[in-house]
Structure 1
Amino acid sequence: MSATHATRYLYLARHGEATPDERGLTPTGRRQAVLLGERLRDVPLSAIHHGPLPRAAETAQLIGARLDGVPAHACEPAGDYVPYTPRRDELPTDCADFLLDFVRGFPSGERARGPLLARTAEERFTGCVKGSEDRHELVVTHNFLIGWLVRAALDAPKWRWLGLNQCNAALTVIRYPPPGRPPSVLFSNDMAHLPAPLRWTGWAPELRVAG
């Protein structure tokens, strides 16, 4: 007899706005994290996973303070890294140079170890769960991993994590149902919990839109 499977709801959040030296959050970033925690207060989260860097850890701590006893865990696969370096022949001709220059701007060591961490993140955080109870988990992470997991849920080409950007403390939710149905991106880069002055941080000005 096959094991019973239930649905996983994966909540993904980019850290709050960081200080220039990235050693912590700005006052704006701390307020963003608090408001995100308040938004998640009624979600039956079983765990908070966060990357090891201070900006992610502080964001997770502030979110967790608004929740009721949800355990938080630091883990490297939730960290900041390049999940995949594309080949030129994978990319659209008109933007290949731009995308390759962007990725090559990161240290070679980070690019080399990123794919392994990305695979580990997928194994740990995605897919349905065994048992009869749905699971809700939060991962406080960085822009690249969220883009990678959204891309994977949509079965898009591996290079397409590029350009899937997240604002600070924005929320993305992916639903992984039992076998036989595909994942669903329920919403992405949602900032409904943030007042207008706290939205759109972490993005270049030309990427921002009204609303």
Structure 2
Amino acid sequence: MATRFLYLARHGHADPFGELTDVGREQARLLGSRLAHLPVDAVWHSPLPRAATSAQEIAARLGPGVEVAEAPELVDHVPDVPADDEMPPAWRPFFDGFDAAEAAAGRQVSRSLTRRFAVGTAGPGDAHEVLVTHAYPIAWLVRDALGSPTQRWLGLESANTALTVIEHRPGQPAGLVMFNDQSHLPAALRWTGFPRAPRP
């Protein structure tokens, strides 16, 4: 088995209808330029339009022949609903109304996500894949890479087109190389997708 390099990104800034704004398109273009020197094999994206369009903008700046395809596991979803004794009090209102069926469906998607992407590659060479998705699936994959408890995805937020890199090496624990890095974005395009607050 060879190393699998995952480049995770939240979609660009979107409007209330889920379509990319001009800011979101520019964010995606800048991320694509940042990744252009890498030997990217594929760009996988969520089925939702804001992620699909972001993936196309990113892929347009990569080398020729890079596969761009939908991965249903990357859809925006709640990966896990913590048990009452594991839930931070501040999150209780968010989960109010989630029934057992919804919680089970979210767990199924999140388990499918890790089974598909949080493993090494079976091929003879390294794999470099871009995953364009949403904040919660990124949080779930980071939590998995760190071997943290299931509820620890809570509070791991990602800005629009921020870059997170995870490496899956054969015979070793997963490596979290970077998380929520926005250095490819000018200051005016950073921190979208986060609550308004002073940011570094």
TM-score, normalised via structure 1 length: 0.89
Does residue 172 (structure 1) correspond to residue 164 (structure 2)? The answer is: yes
Instruction: Say if 2:188 is the partner of 1:188.
Output: no
CA-to-aligned-CA distance 1:52-71 (integer Å, 9 cap, x gap): 11100110011111112211
**Which of 20, 27, 30 is the matching residue for 2:25?**
30
Contact 1:7 1:175 in 2 (8 A): yes
Amino acid at match of 2:8: L
Aligned to 1:121: 113
Counterpart secondary structure, 2:138: helix
2: distance between equivalents of 1:107 and 1:142?
22
Specify the SS of the correspondent of 1:10: strand
Once the two structures are superposed, residues 6-43 of structure 1 have per-residue CA deviations (whole angstroms, 9 ceiling, x without a partner) of 11111100000001221x11110000000001011011
What fraction of aligned residue pairs are identical, expressed as a percent? 47
Match of 2:140 in 1: 148
1:82 aligns with 2:72: no
1:13/1:105 Cα in 2 relative to 1: closer, same or farther (>3 Å)? farther
Asked if 1:100 corresponds to 2:100, the answer is no
Q: Is the Cα–Cα contact under 8 Å of residues 86 and 100 in structure 1 kept in the other structure?
A: no
SS class of match (1:133): coil
Q: 1:106 to 1:49 in 2, by over 3 A?
A: farther
Change over 3 Å in CA distance of 1:61–1:200 after alignment to 2: same
Deviations 1:69-117 (A, max 9, x none): 21111121011000000002224xxxx2222222336687653311111
CA offset digits 1:110-165 (Å, max 9, x no partner): 53311111111111111111233111111100000000000010011100101000
The partner residue of 2:126 within 125, 134, 146 is 134
Normalising by structure 2, what TM-score?
0.94
Secondary structure (helix, strand or coil) at the match of 1:44 reads coil
User: Please, what is the CA RMSD of the aligned residues?
Assistant: 1.5
Q: Distance in 2 between matches of 1:187 and 1:120?
A: 23
Distance 2:151 2:187 in 1: 32
1:41 to 36, 41, 58: 36
Q: Which runs of 5+ in 2 are unaligned?
A: none
1:198 to 163, 169, 189: 189
